[in-house]
Homo-oligomer: A and B are copies of this chain.
Amino acid sequence: MRAVVLLSGGLDSYTAAAVAKEGGHTLDALTVRYGQVHVTEMQSARKIARALEVERHLELDVNLAAFGGSSLVGDGAIPQDRSIDANEIPSTYVPARNTIFLSLALGWAEVLGAGAIVIGVNALDYSGYPDCRPEYLHAFERMAALATRAGVEGKRVRILAPLLTRSKAEIIRLGSDLGLDYRLTHSCYSPRKEDRPCGRCDSCILRARGFAEAGLTDPALHP
């Protein structure tokens, strides 16, 4: 079965895509350039798409920076060294980002005749984003069944979130078991010169904690 995977260039979407591929899906990858300050992601997404041998890799521009409202699109500073509380929504939250990404994937899935969309969200280490919760994904799936021609004809598009209930450490172990090359990935929200991760943003902290808990070293830090 064909699936559209939302590929960000990070560790989670790479692993989610690999799980879907392992499960027998043929993949098409969609990467959205949404005005994020960390453009290094795009290079990583291209490398990952090649490694996954996707059928097509589409890069789409949607300038969410025009809305503002998030430090991830340049509206305020990226928080550093904070203690991460899953009940608090941080300034890196981009309003409705996953809804916009899933909607775009839904449109492309319908054109391609794909039966699934793969997204790398996880609810445990979700860093407080509301659009990473299971009840949200279920509601999106129900809406999608009513939104499209495919849905009207009884061909529902499923939202696959294989990492949803996994911790970062579990994701990293899973990916390592699948033989994924995490050197290709990029997680940092505010990379310094020469694309080196800052080590201090939420994304770097969660990644480092994940590798530590998995008992593995991060190959992107020790190439």
**Chain A to chain B contacts (Cβ below 8 Å), 30 pairs:** A58-B67, A61-B61, A61-B62, A61-B63, A62-B104, A64-B107, A67-B107, A69-B107, A95-B106, A95-B108, A95-B111, A96-B104, A96-B107, A96-B110, A96-B147, A96-B148, A98-B147, A99-B103, A99-B144, A100-B103, A102-B103, A130-B146, A131-B147, A133-B146, A135-B146, A139-B139, A139-B146, A140-B143, A142-B142, A143-B143
Q: Are A108 and B60 in contact (CB under 8 A)?
A: no
* A-to-B contact residues, CB < 8 Å: 58, 60-64, 66-69, 89, 93-100, 102-104, 106-108, 110-111, 130-131, 133, 135-136, 139-140, 142-149, 151-152
A106 to chain B: which residues have CB within 8 Å?
95-96, 99-100
Q: Are B69 and A95 in contact (CB under 8 A)?
A: no
User: A95-B107, A147-B98 are contacts. A139–B136 as well, Cβ < 8 Å?
Assistant: no
Which of B64, B68, B97, B99 sits near A143, CB closer than 8 Å? B99
Q: How far is the CB of A51 from chain B (nearest CB, A)?
A: 23
A102 to chain B: which residues have CB within 8 Å?
103
Q: How far is the CB of A217 from chain B (nearest CB, A)?
A: 35
A111 to chain B: which residues have CB within 8 Å?
67-69, 95
